[in-house]
Every structure is written in C-alpha cells, then in structure tokens.
A and B are shown apart, each in its own frame.
Chain A
Amino acid sequence: MPKGKDTALISWKEVPFGCYILEPGNSVQFKTGDWRSFRPVLDKEKCVKCGQCYIMCPDMTYTQDEEGYYIVDLTYCKGCGICASVCPKGAITMVVEEV
C-alpha cells in the first residue's frame, strides 16, 4: 500500500501488484495496543525469568532487558492476559487500564 495513506482512500490504480505486501515485517506499523482494557504488570520479586510469557504472547510484545527480565511493549499488547495465565510464579497481574 502507498506509505502513510489511509487504506480507505486508496485508488484501484494504487493497489500493489496482486495485492501483495511488498514490504517485509510491516506489521510493526499496525499498533495493536490501543484497544487494551487490561494491562499486564510484572512483579520482578516473583519473576524467575523463565520466558513463558515471551513464548506464549500471541503478539510477540515481550523482549528481554539487560537484567534478563521479560518486559512487555504496550504499543502492541492487546491485554489478552495469556502471559499472566501461563506464568508459573504468578508474577504477572492484569490490571484495569486507566483511560
């Protein structure tokens, strides 16, 4: 798609060949974190850095920081709660998102 243009405004002449997505890894442009109603909060005291949250997150929002903890990126986190549910130590709590 033409960069930066609202999909709703694209002319048929601008549709890419075969409706392909020609740019790899463009899902980062799609901010999935803005309809979240719960937010995961990590208790580092309980965390054993096992990485279950990192593995199970459907949106790949967790990345490891320098100390080895897995930290969520709220730009993409949809608040599904899978991380909290799989955490073997109960280190992740889902809290209501303040609007």
Chain B
Amino acid sequence: MGKRIAKEVSIAIAEAVKQCRVDVIAAYPITPQTHIVEHLSELVANGELDAEYITVESEHSAISACLGSVATGARTFTSTSSQGLALMHEILFIAPALRLPVVMVVANRALSAPISIWNDHGDIMAERDIGWIQTFAENGQEAVDLVYHAFRVAEDRRVMFPAIVNIDGFTLSHMIEPIELPDQEQVDRYLPPFRPRYKLDPRKPLTMGPVGIPEIYTEAKKAQDEAFKNAYRVILKAWDEFEEVFGRRYRPVETYRMEDAEVALLIMGSLAETAMTAVDRMREAGKKVGLVRLRLWRPFPLRDFVKAVKGLKVLAVIDRALSPGATGGPVGTEVRSALYQVPGRPRVVNFIAGLGGRDVTVEDFEEMADRAYVYMKKKPKEPYEMIGVKE
C-alpha cells in the first residue's frame, strides 16, 4: 500500500499527475511552479508517461490549449503561478462555463509590483470568481492527495468543472519532505477513465461557446451556478471514497483544538501547520484558542463553516492577500459576509500577513490571537490590520 518517498513536493505532484494517466499537459514555466512541469516534461520525454506535452509561448496559450484538449475528451493538466495565472485570466472564466474539467496546480506567489517571486495568495485571490473548484493544501501529502481528488471530482459527470489545487510557492513547492505515494492500482481504482458528457468529435459535431444573447445569458449563468453548488456533494463524496481507497480523510473545513475554544484563528494553506504549533503553545498556557482551516475555498462550504465556528467569541481571519481599499482581505470579507445572518455570530477580526514571502512565525500567530482577545471586549478601530509591518 503506497510507498513513503523523500521528494520535493513539486516532483511528487508531477508523479501524482502521471499516476492520474493524463493525456495532455500544456504549460509554461514560471517560478515557483517550474519543477512540476519540468519533471512532467521529463517523464513524457523519457517515455515514462504516455502523454502529449504541448510547449506553448505563454500561459494564455497554455490554458487555451488545455481547454481545447479537454474539450476533445482528453484528461488535461496544467500548472502556473502569479503573473502566469494573471495572464490566463480571461480564459479561466471560459472553462467552467463550457464545463471543461481541466486540473491546474497553482504554486501561489505574490503579484507584481514590486516584483516578488515569493509566496502569498494574491495571485489566486484575483481569480476568486472564475468559477473553478479551488482547494488549498497544507503540506506535501495533501498537495498530492488533492491532485487525485481534483481529477476525480472535476471529471465526474455530475460535476464537469475545472479544479485548482493551491500549494504555497516555495514553502511547499520547494520543500523536501516525506510523502506517501500510493500504488498505481489504488489511483486507478479511485480515478476512472475520463468519459465526458459531450466532447468535440467530428463524427458528432456540436458547438461549444456560442454567443449568449441577453435573453439567455442570465439563464446560462444561473444554470452554471446551480451546477457548481451541486458539485459540493460530489466533492464530499469523493473525499469519503478517497478515505476508503487511501486511508486519509479530508473535509472542506477542518478544525484543530476547537473544543470549548473562545478565540480561533482561520487560515488557508501551509501556514496552518505553524498555526497549529502556536495553538498548542497557547493551549498549554491555558488560553482557549483553536484553529479553523478552510481546505475548500470554492464552492464556499457555507454550512460546514458556520457549524465549525459555532460558539466562538472571536474569529481571527488571516488573509495572505491584500484587497486595497476594501473592507478586509478576500477571506475576511467572505467570512464576515457568511456570518452576517448567523445569530450569535463571533466577532470577525481580519489580519493581513505573510505577503510576498514574509515569514509568519509561531509568535506572530500568538500575537494575532492575543489581539483577538483584546477585541473580544473592544471593537477594532479598523476593519483589517496588517501584521509585521515595520513602522
């Protein structure tokens, strides 16, 4: 049952993509995603992976090629970061509207300017509304596991939506750590061959992407939104089945030491591991602090989220992206809005931290929790605060 390997997370992701038996990869290299697609191109060139690797001249072309490829019924993968993701922007909306289930790993990196190759969530938060399924990985194991899950869910005939697996650039992509890589047989059992509902086939022509006149555009969008919300059940079920096959369990909202917690931190991505260490320390010091981790960002797991934060007095949301001039970071505003209608909701305070590769330490998390305690009694002056800014 599987094999414990010591590999860079990017390499392990490429190996997982290979195990998913992809037919087509179209990608353009960009730091810190490079090692993923570099290794995939090696696997293809060495004949270890029977797939078409399409070299393109930009990310815009990469995602365009992916859409064409998946439309013909080929299992398709791509990966990018930061400016590359931004360059894909206009095409990203088309994939879910045309129900084209391409899978993409985004090695999250800050957007320019100033130029930064380092990690934050600015790139993916700018793509919040594209209509893709979006998950966040906390460690290398999750990154790999979420790739299998992404293909499984995206290509499910009840779903047929593209999916993004977010991994923190460098902090995860360049980390060597133990990862359990499952057997090919397990992956085959979990991930059936791709059988789309419709595909581009000259023997049975159809049109994908016709104009939507005002009389139909709203209805088309409503249909897309309903189908996307319905994907939630399949996402959960695919995680249940994942547990049966691989023995590891995932949920859209995961909690840590939330029993009797009055203050909780909320974060997405790899920093949640550091936050756990902080929570342990604060618990030892007698503070009732817990941690909420959003694994599924889109579709937003509203009900499970509300259940997870029940009974809290203060919820400290840590955003790793700035939304200039807004009422909070992207996650902060989302969470506030999600809780607005909930009676007895906790006070939501919002911190922006870890921008452009700035480390967020155990002490930083402790400081945020301490501030949350202060805000239990006193309303914060500002809707959000930046952490670790030098004055």
Residue of B nearest to A26 (CB): B207
Residue pair A15, B216 in contact (C-beta under 8 Å):
yes
The answer for the CA separation of A89 and B204 in the assembled complex, in Å, is 42
Interface 9-residue window, one of A17-25, A32-40, A46-54: A17-25
State the Cβ distance, B133 to closest chain A Cβ, in Å.
16
- Asked if B98 is an interface residue, CB under 8 A from chain A, the answer is yes
Q: By DSSP majority rule, is chain B's interface helix, strand, loop, or mixed?
A: loop
Residue of B nearest to A27 (CB): B207
Question: Contacts A7-B216, A10-B219: A17 and B198 contacting too (C-beta < 8 A)?
Answer: yes
> Size range of the interface on B?
20 to 34
Chain B residues lying within 8 Å of A14, measured Cβ to Cβ, are 219
Question: Contacts A18-B98, A18-B198: A10 and B206 contacting too (C-beta < 8 A)?
Answer: no
Residue pair B226, A24 in contact (C-beta under 8 Å):
no
Residue pair B213, A7 in contact (C-beta under 8 Å):
yes
- Asked if B343 is an interface residue, CB under 8 A from chain A, the answer is no
- Asked if B193 is an interface residue, CB under 8 A from chain A, the answer is no
Question: Contacts A7-B216, A10-B219: A19 and B210 contacting too (C-beta < 8 A)?
Answer: yes
Residue pair B206, A7 in contact (C-beta under 8 Å):
no
Residue pair A17, B99 in contact (C-beta under 8 Å):
yes
Partner of B219, one of A12, A18, A22: A12
State the Cβ distance, B60 to closest chain A Cβ, in Å.
22
Residue of B nearest to A14 (CB): B219
State the Cβ distance, A27 to closest chain B Cβ, in Å.
10
Question: Contacts A12-B222, A12-B223, A12-B226: A18 and B208 contacting too (C-beta < 8 A)?
Answer: yes
The answer for the CA separation of A12 and B229 in the assembled complex, in Å, is 15
Residue pair A20, B216 in contact (C-beta under 8 Å):
no
- Asked if B2 is an interface residue, CB under 8 A from chain A, the answer is no
- Asked if A13 is an interface residue, CB under 8 A from chain B, the answer is yes
Interface set of B (CB-CB < 8 Å, partner A) = 97-100, 160, 197-198, 204-210, 212-213, 215-216, 218-220, 222-223, 226
